Structure 1
Amino acid sequence: MVGLTILGILFVPIAIAIKLDDPGPIFFTQERYGLLGRPFQIRKFRTMVTNAEKLKHLVANEADGFIFKNKNDFRVTRIGRFLRSTSLDELPQFWNVLLGEMSLVGTRPPTADEVIKYNQFHWQRLRVKPGLTGEWQANGRSHIQEFEQVVNLDLQYQHKWHPLYDLWLIVKTIYVILAKVGAF
């Protein structure tokens, strides 16, 4: 509820900034996969131009494996860079938490183009609900460039899980966001 309150307060200024920077929808919605591979629609504030998916083939993938990253992706808007570096683009995911599709802490929710390539080892990361934050977000964010490292961090989280560890990851994530560590 606290997250939804923050979203409610920041919604109007963020929505106006997105619209002024690049006309189009305020939200980006994408199918992701959660607990045991169940599909759900994730919501984020839009940080890229409206036709970003059609332009993806023009951007080099700087990551190894099944994830896609590019530090200087031309598709990211000016306000989008700010939203990403502050993680404000993630605020609408509190709605996913309220619906029970995600939790506050968990694994990174993969996309369809990632899941289709999974082997049995990779599927283990979907034994828990995806989260707004987790090992990957608190301990690396955009500095992690290898998919296998993301999987290992997700599995490490599952082995370490404890309510106090979740609280620790939330606190660490807040620090990482405020200190602007590892986001682009």
Structure 2
Amino acid sequence: MTSQPKEVVPVTSLNETAIVPVPARLSVLEAVGFKQTCQELIQANPHLKQIIIDFHQTTFMDSSGLGALVSNFKTAKEKQVLFILRNVNPPVMAVLNLTGLDQVLPIESLGILPQKQQHDPQDAQVFSSRKVEQLPTTHPSVASWMKRLLDIVGAVIGLVITGILLVPIAVAIQIDDPGPIFFSQTRCGWMGKRFEIWKFRSMCVDAEAKKSQVQNQVQGAFFKNESDPRVTRVGRFLRRTSLDELPQFWNVLQGDMSLVGTRPPTPDEVERYEVPEWQRLDVKPGMTGEWQVNGRSKVRSFEDVIRLDLQYQKNWSLLYDFKLIVKTIAILFHKNSGAV
């Protein structure tokens, strides 16, 4: 990753309390400085008891801002320093609510935000719709209704194909290795929101328990092994032809994924991210993308994953999505295409 210039964050210290104001926008440049400021405060002051993060002027926070916030919270918790959010504005609160961090991070004041328990269902529904409107546009693709329409149409077509192939695939899985037909795994989507990704099961039923016994052949914050012993015989065919990923059309229809986007990471991968690497979560993850058409089985480092994901964000357009879909179809049955 290219080093980012640090933004200076002013700090007010009162006895054993430090107040850190957050700038109006908390994106990658500001987030790097914000994280470094909090880390230095915690490490340099052994008498520090609490850090108050003042959001009174903040109206925009993207994935990098979330990454800095989570990292600082973890460091403070390790050092037994209270980490409190103050004056959280509705746009920031909407992001925290989307990711579930409003249930994790201590929030001193919700300002004009109403308390959930004090509402009737109708009021709660109105407030929920407002929160959706306040979510940040972290990337043009997020706000594109044409991209969403393409996703819906593609997902419906894909689910029809999935329904046709469901029976023979299910029978093959059961004959080869009896157990569940589908496999679900928690992944992180837009802004780090967690969701369950679906695939046809290509591994043995206790694959997750055996993961620690398999060598990781790539570098950085993701896992891959070309000759993974947990993959079944039918599973290898499903992966080679990408048929195992057909159920992900359901994730696309639900809106957690897109037909084209970035590679959907697991939570343990995200926990290892540095602040700039959170930028890859500024767009929705996709069933295909730059990593897919550029030889996904040959990707050997996390740096390559980040490079390809940021390349997609930089080049994105509806026409670019169409080109990546066409390229994906062209290499779908290529013997060296590999699996995600």
User: Would you say same fold, with TM above 0.5?
Assistant: yes
CA deviation profile, 1:50-87 (whole Å, cap 9, x unmatched): 00111112111100001111111110000000000000
Helix, strand or coil at the partner of 2:259: strand
* Counterpart position of 2:6: none
Match of 2:239 among 53, 62, 84: 84
* Counterpart position of 2:223: 68
Helix, strand or coil at the partner of 1:178: coil
Q: CA deviation at 1:141?
A: 1.1
Helix, strand or coil at the partner of 1:7: helix
Considering only aligned residues, what root-mean-square deviation do their CA atoms show, in Å?
Answer: 0.9
For the pair 1:30 / 2:208, whether they are aligned, the reply is no
* Counterpart position of 2:334: 179
Distance 1:14 1:98 in 2: 21
* Counterpart position of 1:118: 273
Matches within 5 A, 1:1-184: 1-183=156-338
4+ residue runs over 4 A deviation:
none
Task: Provide TM-score, normalisation by structure 2.
Answer: 0.53
Distance 1:100 1:164 in 2: 20
Q: CA deviation at 1:148?
A: 1.1
Q: CA deviation at 1:119?
A: 1.0
Helix, strand or coil at the partner of 1:48: coil
CA deviation profile, 1:90-140 (whole Å, cap 9, x unmatched): 000000000011010000100011011111111000000000000001111
Helix, strand or coil at the partner of 1:53: coil
Helix, strand or coil at the partner of 2:195: strand
Helix, strand or coil at the partner of 1:104: strand
Q: CA deviation at 1:20?
A: 0.8
Q: Which amino acid aligns with 2:269?
A: E
Which segments of 5 or more consecutive residues in structure 2 lack a partner in the other structure? 1-155
Q: Which amino acid aligns with 2:316?
A: W
Percent identity (aligned) = 62
Q: Which amino acid aligns with 1:33?
A: C
Q: Which amino acid aligns with 1:116?
A: E
Which segments of 5 or more consecutive residues in structure 1 lack a partner in the other structure? none
Bigger radius of gyration: 2
Higher RCO, 1 or 2 (CA under 8 Å, sep at least 6)? 1
Task: Provide TM-score, normalisation by structure 1.
Answer: 0.97
Distance 2:252 2:268 in 1: 23
